[in-house]
Amino acid sequence: MSKASLSSYLRDIRFPFCAGCGGTTVATVFLKAVQELGHKDFQGFVFCSGIGCASWIPSPHFKADSIHTTHGRSIPVATGVKLVRPDLKVVVFGGDGDLVGIGLSHLIHAARRNLDITVVMVNNMIYGMTGGQVAATTPMNVKTTTTPYGGFEGSLDTARLVATAGASYAARWTTAHLVQLRESIKKALVTKGFSFVEVVSQCPTAYGRRAGFKNAGEMLLWLKEQSVTFDEAEQLSERELEEKIVVGEFVSRILPTLSERIQTVLRKAKKQ
Amino acid sequence: MVNHLTSGSHFMRGNEALAEAAIVAGCRFFAAYPITPASEISEHLAKRLPQAGGIMIQMEDEIASLASVIGASWAGAKAMTATSGPGFSLMQENIGYAFMTETPCVIADIQRAGPSTGQATKCGQGDVMQARWGTHGDYASIVLSPNSVQEMFDLTVRAFNLAEEYRTPIILLADEIIAHMSEQMVVPPLEEITIVDRKKPKSTDKAFFDGDGVAPMPSVGEGFNVTVTGSTHDEFGVRFTADPKIHRVLVTRLVEKIRSNVELLADFEAVNVDNCEVGVVSYGCASRAVYEAVEMAQDRGIKVGFIRLKTIWPFPEKAVEEMAQKAKNIIVPEMNLQQVFFEVQRVVKGAARVTPVNKIGGGEMVTPEELFSVIEGSVGER
């Protein structure tokens, strides 16, 4: 891994994340991936993010164009940017609350359209910024501030959902898989079409405390232990899989992108 | 070469005139979700915008529609969405975002009878206050109200121009009747149509959210590293979520850039206002009955003045105040249950008696005869 400084990608503003937050890890791994792809700075990149801790990764910390949108709407804003400027690399950062809670429909539709953007979802399985309320990604039975007796709803398998909806690329890793995550982000950034990287991440403050973890390290170890590959998952029953985090690439394929399809429409229209 | 509507006379529907005007004004991105009675705008632009090199996309809902318009605007395109009352409600959060981030864009609301699904195919004017106060927090809005196919064209061009000049969302508050009727309209020679483009920054500029009025606006991808946020921010776009002064300065400036220009933004038709004993204030479809009612009254020797609002918000207070100096009675016909009525009452401060004339349901308009009888009756109350 390159030892070169990542500070050239950052403004001189400190990340506001709690000690032990996985968001800082995701930010660092993302910057290393960008560096390894040979980008000296963020020229040609645009970042869109919604509301929540993960949305603060690019805005305003990345020395880049960034649009910090309303809650859940980073993907449709990114859609407008990308359709007008298909030459720009548009990257969305968001948490699970933002992207699969309030904004889920936009994620599915962007995958269906194969909109040529990259989405990095930091899945901390909780609404962290608002203090630890249950999310669409919180595992069954976990205690949160709004499920004091334990959760009673199923959780969403987002990377699989995005792959099914029509994305070019979808992968899931955790903050305990630094190398795989970096390689996956690199692959997502060079993929034509909709690329999605889910990072299951620790939130020691709003999740770990109530879920019975002593500290961030313990959570990280738990993420690592719970992770299984596709091959390993095949050997497990549905019941056993409920406790697990399936990691790896869910899909990686070449498909026509929304921008390409729209170019065809523009050519047809001009002939009329 | 952009494929514009040709100059000269056309016979068109209101929604088509609106769509064509958007292309003339420079709109190159349109996103919307199907809704009666606005869908013809989408259908027309789906065909016409790509011919002009622009993009039309049908989004998954009205929230995404306005969100993508905001993204397109920051990517440098003039952009618009179109909807009706229920969709307009879904857009309210992002209208506040566009106001807070100073994003030029146009939102056409083709009003129908609400609340809720109401009478989806029938006309109403019930979104006047939603257009003023729909989003949360402190803000000011610019809302235009066409009353003919010609004005669907003219005011759409004006809406884009104001959006670019003021860097704020502009609401084109039309209604089902104006949108669905066909009339003659005249497109002036294109070189005579004023087209305003946003002020662009110099390469050395760093502050894009400041000044006494409207700061220059960069696009993403131009190398400015612009940070756009709906949170309270300083002149460089950096978030300050607790500093009282930065919030006061920002929000006061955003409101004042509209409030302090009320005279420039005011746009109305005034008939016989200098010499009237009865006044009428109306707008949009309801105002179309007023001309005939005024004629009927004048034939009977009643002096009637008429103010027709083409800009509803900010409310042209001065014009209505002046009318109240002459007219002892002011009548406000509208297809809702008293929305502009209360505004007129507030502005005249008791100087004139204000009488509402309201009709809702079934898309039925106030007729000239009905309005005339109220005018005649009000003279009797002198």
Instruction: List chain B residues with CB under 8 Å of A44.
Output: 221
Q: How far is B37 from chain A (nearest CA, A)?
A: 24
Question: Residue A272: closest CA among chain B residues belongs to which residue?
Answer: B51
Cβ pair B265, B317 in contact under 8 A: no
CB-side neighbour CA atoms (13 Å) of B138? 13
Can you give the pLDDT at residue B174?
98
Name the nearest CA neighbour of A49 among A23, A84, A77, A27.
A77
For the segment B170-221, what is each residue's pLDDT rounded down to a tens digit? 999 999 999 999 999 999 999 999 999 999 999 999 999 997 779 999 999 9
Mean pLDDT of A177-195: 98
For the segment A191-213, what is each residue's pLDDT rounded down to a tens digit? 999 999 999 999 999 999 999 99
Count other Cβ atoms within 10 Å, centred on residue A242.
13
Q: Specify the DSSP element, H or E, that contains B166.
A: helix B149-166
Instruction: List chain B residues with CB under 8 Å of A266.
Output: 50, 53, 55
Cβ pair A92, A116 in contact under 8 A: no
Nearest to A67 among B28, B74, B225 (CB): B74
Chain A 75-114, residues with CB within 8 Å of chain B CB atoms: 75-85, 87-88, 105-106, 109
Instruction: List chain B residues with CB under 8 Å of A82.
Output: 71
> Cis omega (within 30 of 0) on the bond before B37?
yes
Nearest to A85 among B68, B221, B229 (CB): B221
The bridge status of strand B268-271 relative to strand B304-309 is: antiparallel
Contact A80 B60 (CB under 8 A): no
Nearest to A77 among B57, B71, B225 (CB): B71
Nearest to B72 among A44, A73, A83 (CB): A83
Chain B touched by A19 (CB under 8 Å) = no
CA gap B83, B91 in Å, rounded: 9
Can you give the pLDDT at residue B2?
62
For the segment A131-143, what is each residue's pLDDT rounded down to a tens digit? 999 999 999 999 9
Instruction: List chain A residues with CB under 8 Å of B228.
Output: 66-68
The bridge status of strand B329-334 relative to strand B278-283 is: parallel
Distances (CA, A) of A209 to A219, A227, A230, B109, B121: 10, 21, 30, 48, 54
Which sequence spans correspond to the domains of chain A? 18-271
Q: How far is A204 from chain B (nearest CA, A)?
A: 23
Mean pLDDT of B124-152: 98
Instruction: List chain A residues with CB under 8 Å of B93.
Output: 70
> Does the structure show a pLDDT above 90 at A110?
yes
CA gap B370, B293 in Å, rounded: 8
For the segment B64-109, what is each residue's pLDDT rounded down to a tens digit? 999 999 999 999 999 999 999 999 999 999 999 999 999 999 999 9
Instruction: List chain A residues with CB under 8 Å of B223.
Output: 43
The 3-class SS string of A56-103 reads: HCCCCCECCEEEECCCCCHHHHHHHHHHHCCCCEEEEEEEHHHHHHHC
Chain B touched by A241 (CB under 8 Å) = no
CA gap B261, B251 in Å, rounded: 16
> Does the structure show a pLDDT above 70 at B124?
yes
> Does the structure show a pLDDT above 70 at B130?
yes
How many inter-chain contacts (A to B, CB under 8 Å) are there? 136
Cβ pair B169, B95 in contact under 8 A: yes
| Best residue in B29, B61, B70 for a mutation probing chain A (most A CBs within 10 Å) | B70
Can you give the pLDDT at residue A1?
45
Distances (CA, A) of B178 to B37, B43, B47, B183, B315: 10, 17, 22, 9, 21
CA gap B281, A261 in Å, rounded: 50
Phi, psi (rounded to 5 degrees) for B21: -65, -35
Cα of first residue to Cα of last residue in chain A, in angstroms, is 53
Structural domains for chain B: 8-192 (3.40.50.970), 268-380 (3.40.50.920)
Cβ pair A212, A257 in contact under 8 A: no
Can you give the pLDDT at residue B94?
98
| % of chain B beyond a pLDDT of 70 | 99
Dihedral class, residue B117 (left if φ above 0, else alpha if ψ from -120 to 50, else beta): alpha
Mean pLDDT of A67-91: 98
CATH architecture of the region A18-271:
3-Layer(aba) Sandwich (3.40)
Phi, psi (rounded to 5 degrees) for A168: -70, -35
One-letter identity of residue B43? E
| Best residue in A45, A84, A102, A130 for a mutation probing chain B (most B CBs within 10 Å) | A84
3-class state of residue A14 by DSSP: coil
CA gap B216, B232 in Å, rounded: 19
| DSSP code of residue B69 | H
Chain A touched by B206 (CB under 8 Å) = no
Mean pLDDT of A253-262: 97
Contact A83 B94 (CB under 8 A): no
For the segment B315-329, what is each residue's pLDDT rounded down to a tens digit? 999 999 999 999 999
> Does the structure show a pLDDT above 60 at B1?
no
The pLDDT mean for chain B works out to: 96
**How confident is residue B118, by pLDDT bands cut at 50, 70 and 90?**
very high
Can you give the pLDDT at residue A3?
55
One-letter identity of residue B83? T
Contact B220 A78 (CB under 8 A): no
For the segment A39-60, what is each residue's pLDDT rounded down to a tens digit? 999 999 999 999 999 999 999 9
For the segment A146-159, what is each residue's pLDDT rounded down to a tens digit? 999 999 999 999 99
